[in-house]
Structures are given as structure tokens and as C-alpha cells.
């Protein structure tokens, strides 16, 4: 009996610890759209965006790196890529312009670190 109680206690403690570290996606209805936020294990936001009731991505969609910095900003119109998508990396920013899922223009800008000036 004592062993059974230890096993049950271990199970509940394990479940409690696991549930505190798991961040499930959060969804919320916003008018005719569903807003979703997906998290990394540590609770920082991985992705945030909207989709239609039919499951098509719509409006803005943002992706973040594990450190919280922006990775990508995109826009959809009922599942179709539109507008300017922006991607951030260590050394450049890439902007891709879409019209009806077709790439119209690509622009890359190199990120130059700030030069510190000593006075």
C-alpha cells in the first residue's frame, strides 16, 4: 500500500511539473477570425497570427526567435501570400513583396553594426 501511495504521489508531482513547463497554443475568436499564439517551451512567443474559420491563414502572421527577437512578419489574404514579408537575420533584413502568391520584388539590406565613437 505504501508503494502504491508513493507511485501515485510521483505521478501527480510529475504531471504538475510537466504542466507548468508546457505552454499550449492560445486561441481566441476575433470577429470572423481565430487569433492564435504559439509558444516556445520557456513561454516566449514563437508565432502569432490569424486564420479563418476554414483554416486559411489571414491578415498578419509573426514569427519570433527563441530569444524574443523578430524572425518574420508576413501577411495573407485567405491563405494567399500578399504584401511585403520581412525576414530578420543577424546580418541582413530581407523584404519580399508578394501579389497573389507570386514574388514581385526582393530587397536585401545588410545590417551594419553601430560604430562606437569615443569622445
Q: Rounded to the nearest 5 degrees, what angle is found at the Cα of 117, between the Cα atoms of 115 and 119?
A: 175
82-93 per-position pLDDT tens digit: 999 999 999 999
- Look at 15 and 113; give whichever has higher pLDDT: 113
Query: Is residue 43 included in any domain, yes or no?
Result: yes
Report the C-alpha gap between 44 and 34 in whole angstroms. 20
Number of domains forming the structure of the chain: 1
Mean pLDDT over 8-13 rounds to 49
Mean pLDDT over 23-40 rounds to 94
User: HSE-up of 54 (CA within 13 Å, CB side)?
Assistant: 5
| CATH code at position 57 | 2.20.110
Query: Is residue 118 included in any domain, yes or no?
Result: no
pLDDT at position 58 is 97
Q: Indicate the pairing of strand 80-88 with strand 102-110.
A: unpaired
Residue 79 DSSP label: T
pLDDT at 4 over 50: no
pLDDT at 59 over 60: yes
Query: Is residue 67 included in any domain, yes or no?
Result: yes
Length of the chain: 119
Query: Is residue 69 included in any domain, yes or no?
Result: yes
> Mean pLDDT of all residues in the chain?
85
pLDDT at 21 over 70: no
Query: Is residue 15 included in any domain, yes or no?
Result: no
**Domain that residue 88 falls in:** 24-110
- Per-residue CA distances from 13 to 10, 17, 18, 20, 32 (Å): 5, 6, 9, 11, 40
Mean pLDDT over 63-70 rounds to 96
Query: Is residue 119 included in any domain, yes or no?
Result: no
pLDDT at 2 over 80: no
Mean pLDDT over 30-58 rounds to 95
Mean pLDDT over 38-54 rounds to 95
Query: Is residue 13 included in any domain, yes or no?
Result: no
Amino acid at each position: 500500500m505504501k508503494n502504491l501511495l508513493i507511485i501515485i504521489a510521483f505521478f501527480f508531482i510529475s504531471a504538475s511539473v510537466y504542466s507548468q513547463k508546457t505552454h499550449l497554443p492560445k486561441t481566441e475568436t476575433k470577429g470572423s477570425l481565430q487569433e492564435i499564439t504559439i509558444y516556445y517551451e520557456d513561454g516566449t512567443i514563437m508565432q502569432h497570427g490569424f486564420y479563418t474559420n476554414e483554416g486559411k491563414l489571414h491578415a498578419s502572421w509573426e514569427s519570433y526567435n527563441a530569444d524574443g527577437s523578430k524572425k518574420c512578419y508576413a501577411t495573407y489574404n485567405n491563405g494567399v501570400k500578399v504584401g511585403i514579408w520581412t525576414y530578420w537575420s543577424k546580418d541582413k533584413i530581407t523584404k519580399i513583396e508578394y501579389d497573389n502568391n507570386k514574388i514581385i520584388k526582393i530587397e536585401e539590406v545588410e545590417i551594419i553594426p553601430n560604430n562606437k565613437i569615443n569622445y
